[in-house]
Copies of this chain bind each other. A is one copy, B any other.
Amino acid sequence: MTAPEYPWERPLGAHPRPDGTSEFRVWAPRAGTLAVRAGGVEHALQDEGYGVYGAEIEAAPGTDYEFVVDGEALPDPSSRWQPDGLRGPSRVLDAAAFEWTDEGWAGVRVPELVIYELHVGTFTPEGTFEAAIPYLEGLRELGITALELMPVAEFPGRHGWGYDGVYISAAHSAYGGPQGLAAFVDAAHAAGLAVLLDVVYNHVGASGAAALEAFGPYFTEKHHTAWGRAMNFDDADCDPVREWALQSAEQWVRDFHLDGLRLDAIHAIVDAGAEHLVAAVSRRVHDITPDAIVIAESGLNDPKVIRPPELGGWGCDAAWADDFHHALRVLTTGETEGWYGEFDSLGTLAKALHRPYVHDGSYSEFRRRRFGAPAEDRPPQQFVVFAQNHDQVGNRAYGDRLPEPARRLAAFSTLLAPFTPMLFMGEEHGEPAPFQFFSDHIDAEIAEATREGRREEFAAFAAFGEDVPDPQDPETFERSKLTRQGDPELRDLYGRLLELRRELPHGEAADIAYDEHSGWLSARRGPYLLVTNFADARVHVPCEEPGEIVLATHRPTVEPGYVVLGPLSGVVLR
């Protein structure tokens, strides 16, 4: 940690001190007049230079406060607590007051990661951090080692996916706020589970843009993304905006004991400066906890994201690799719509099983360009793969999960791959509830735009009529909650797959072989031979000495010189 050189590098937000006062600091270069109103009393702030203002005033933890910018009371952009939601006051949080019990927690290393993506709002009927705690032991027993919480930064309304958060340092009030999150992380550690947090730095929810803009240029016209103007990470006055994000990343790891972060859609973080914001996040988080795990959701297929800085990389520990999903999805379901079209072969999955960038500089017909770069130098564990995730399920028109016939083989392929596997909550028991796109927008205009956007997105597909679920309908949210009704046998298979996974040596899959025509694919991992059948029919896979059957998704048979697999099934031989 280097000493702050510029005022915006001092702690932003509200920081209580032992004497009952708190230190407030905000970057507000656009404010004509500025004050902090704490406990109903307005206080002036001192000009620290470069548009940064600070004050030390009487305000114990728990005091509500707002910054009054040109007469308008607004939440603190670095707020850590929004007890009354997005438009309510901020509240002084004493992050040191939480009584942690996780001194003995040793953390989890990347090679041991088995990630479980969890949406707090739909994981339980109550939709809170607290309500989720009783299920943690079960997940650990199943073989999960890390939870990945979908975004919890305060977002508009009560429920939503969370990707339109605004107060990036404040745990969502409807989930139980910062105390709820801390208690959840503490309980997870007690259960032997790491907790990773999905954080969104590529945009803020439209409901909050104006509130941030009143303070300063958080956005830039220099670049545009799918969400409009880019966050200002490389234009004039970008340093305090970068710092707003960087300090937020730091506090999650430092004060909430999160074991790491998942950075949303880094391909939409535009930064032409000498240190990309993602590299800066990675550096700052690792400075606090070298073992912290930084995972990028990267649509770039670019291994620089997961290379160390000394090799010109961005220093992330791992990155999502969607191509593996696409190959697996197409082979197990036969769906070839949109970009799925170019993943329609066993050869594609065989390539993805070596390194999951199917596009590693090769031409993508969907993108109409050569895409990606080879990642031979990166160990398999740096790639996060999945058969399902919130996007691949939830961004389908009806949010339907992977169909039943595909589930066992998909789980087999994902959990026994040499990569870091991730499950989407509920898939382990074949959850019947969908995960649909839902929101609870507080601005009528944004609500309508979201509703319309969703309808238009699927209008191109003839199969989807007007019955695409309305995101603003509370029923869409309710319908997406886990029922935990499902298939106990499937859950048992997940447990056995994860048990076997722990026996597999690290390192890449060897002897990858396949028969495009008949549909089988095999690969070796140490002493184990994994044989799979992606065809809809029984297939004879040539096999000199099949050896012992260690695990199977369905009952295979062995004939002299062959192992015979049923449709969409897999077997592990030793």
Name A residues whose Cβ lies closer than 8 Å to a Cβ of B.
5-6, 223, 234-239, 267, 270, 272-275, 300-304, 307, 310-313, 361, 363, 367-373
A235: chain B residues within 8 A (beta carbon): 369
Given contacts A236-B367, A239-B370, A368-B237, contact A307 B302 (CB under 8 A): no
* 10 A-B pairs closest in CB distance: A312-B312, A274-B373, A236-B368, A274-B302, A238-B369, A237-B368, A311-B312, A239-B370, A274-B372, A239-B369
Cβ-closest chain B residue relative to A304: B312
- The answer to whether A371 and B274 have CB atoms under 8 Å apart is yes
A562 to chain B, nearest CB (A): 37
Cβ-closest chain B residue relative to A373: B274
Q: Which of B236, B267, B363 contacts A272 (CB 8 A)?
A: B267
- The answer to whether B236 and A273 have CB atoms under 8 Å apart is no
- The answer to whether B300 and A307 have CB atoms under 8 Å apart is no
A310: chain B residues within 8 A (beta carbon): 311
Distance in angstroms between the alpha carbons of A311 and B238 in the assembled complex: 27
Given contacts A274-B300, A274-B301, A361-B274, contact A236 B369 (CB under 8 A): yes
Distance in angstroms between the alpha carbons of A371 and B373 in the assembled complex: 28
A300: chain B residues within 8 A (beta carbon): 272, 274
A315 to chain B, nearest CB (A): 11
A303: chain B residues within 8 A (beta carbon): 274
A344 to chain B, nearest CB (A): 20
- The answer to whether B371 and A273 have CB atoms under 8 Å apart is yes
Distance in angstroms between the alpha carbons of A235 and B369 in the assembled complex: 7
Known: A5-B363, A273-B302, A274-B303. 6 other contacts (CB 8 A): A6-B363, A236-B368, A274-B301, A274-B373, A311-B312, A312-B313
A225 to chain B, nearest CB (A): 10
Cβ-closest chain B residue relative to A236: B368
A502 to chain B, nearest CB (A): 34
Distance in angstroms between the alpha carbons of A371 and B304 in the assembled complex: 21
A270: chain B residues within 8 A (beta carbon): 272
A284 to chain B, nearest CB (A): 14
Cβ-closest chain B residue relative to A375: B274
A239 to chain B, nearest CB (A): 5
- The answer to whether B274 and A304 have CB atoms under 8 Å apart is yes
Cβ-closest chain B residue relative to A235: B369
A371: chain B residues within 8 A (beta carbon): 273-274
- The answer to whether A239 and B367 have CB atoms under 8 Å apart is no
Distance in angstroms between the alpha carbons of A363 and B239 in the assembled complex: 9
Distance in angstroms between the alpha carbons of A363 and B371 in the assembled complex: 35
Distance in angstroms between the alpha carbons of A234 and B372 in the assembled complex: 11
Distance in angstroms between the alpha carbons of A6 and B361 in the assembled complex: 13
A236: chain B residues within 8 A (beta carbon): 367-369
- The answer to whether A275 and B237 have CB atoms under 8 Å apart is no
A363: chain B residues within 8 A (beta carbon): 5-6, 239
A558 to chain B, nearest CB (A): 42
Give me 7 A-to-B residue pairs in the complex whose CB atoms sit less than 8 angstroms apart, sorted by A's number.
Answer: A234-B369, A235-B369, A236-B369, A273-B302, A273-B371, A311-B311, A312-B313
A273: chain B residues within 8 A (beta carbon): 302, 369, 371
A223: chain B residues within 8 A (beta carbon): 223
Distance in angstroms between the alpha carbons of A302 and B271 in the assembled complex: 13
Cβ-closest chain B residue relative to A305: B274
A275: chain B residues within 8 A (beta carbon): 361, 373
Distance in angstroms between the alpha carbons of A368 and B235 in the assembled complex: 8
Distance in angstroms between the alpha carbons of A311 and B313 in the assembled complex: 9
Distance in angstroms between the alpha carbons of A369 and B216 in the assembled complex: 14
